[in-house]
Structure 1
């Protein structure tokens, strides 16, 4: 199945809980739970030690606000990118959150996630 066959509302019903989990486990520094919905290729490409350093040393990664605004969807091929406006609990300003979703083995998985 191609995720782009779903309506915007159907995609967002999947995306929002996944994003909320990413924020929760980033704030907790819980690497294992943070990556649990990642695609196999994304998990293989991550360096657990570097991720651990980011969780430990990044003020942003450990203090993300649960408040989020969805800015929209970008559909391409077999993936959809969901864009969020995110904030930090300890730093002023706004950041762009990006999460790429698609199907892997019949389940929606995260193929990319970042905050700019």
Structure 2
């Protein structure tokens, strides 16, 4: 199945809870739950030591506002990118959150996630 076969509303019904979990587990520094919906390829490419340092030392990654502001979707190939406005409880300003979704073995997985 291709995630691009879903309507925007159907994609957002999947994306929002996944994004909410990323924010929650980032704030908690819960690495195990943060990566639980990552695709196999994304997991292989992670540097667990560097990600662990980010959780431990990043003021931004540990103080994200849970309120979500979805800016839209970008569709490409077999993936959909959900874009979010991100705010921090500790730092002034706004960031762009990006989460790439697609199917892996019949389940929707996260193929990339970042905050710029």
TM-score range, shorter chain: over 0.9
Instruction: Please say if 1:45 is aligned against 2:45.
Output: yes
Instruction: Compute the TM-score of the two structures, normalised by the length of structure 1.
Output: 0.99
Instruction: Please say if 1:65 is aligned against 2:102.
Output: no
The residue correspondences of 1:92-111 to structure 2 (distance < 5 A) are: 92-111=92-111
Report what 1:88 is aligned to: 88
Taking the aligned partners of 2:10 and 2:4, their CA distance within structure 1 comes to: 10
Post-superposition shift, 1:25? Answer: 0.4
**Residue 52 of structure 2 aligns to a residue in which SS?**
helix
Post-superposition shift, 1:68? Answer: 1.5
Count of residue pairs the alignment pairs up: 116
Taking the aligned partners of 2:41 and 2:7, their CA distance within structure 1 comes to: 26
**Residue 65 of structure 2 aligns to a residue in which SS?**
strand
Note the aligned Cα RMSD (angstroms).
0.4
Post-superposition shift, 1:67? Answer: 1.0
Report what 2:77 is aligned to: 77
Report what 1:13 is aligned to: 13
Q: Which runs of 5+ in 1 are unaligned?
A: none
Q: Which runs of 5+ in 2 are unaligned?
A: none
**Residue 72 of structure 1 aligns to a residue in which SS?**
strand
Q: Deviations over 1:12-66 (max 9, x none)?
A: 0000000000000000111110000000000010011110000011000000000
Q: Deviations over 1:73-104 (max 9, x none)?
A: 00000000000001001111110000000000
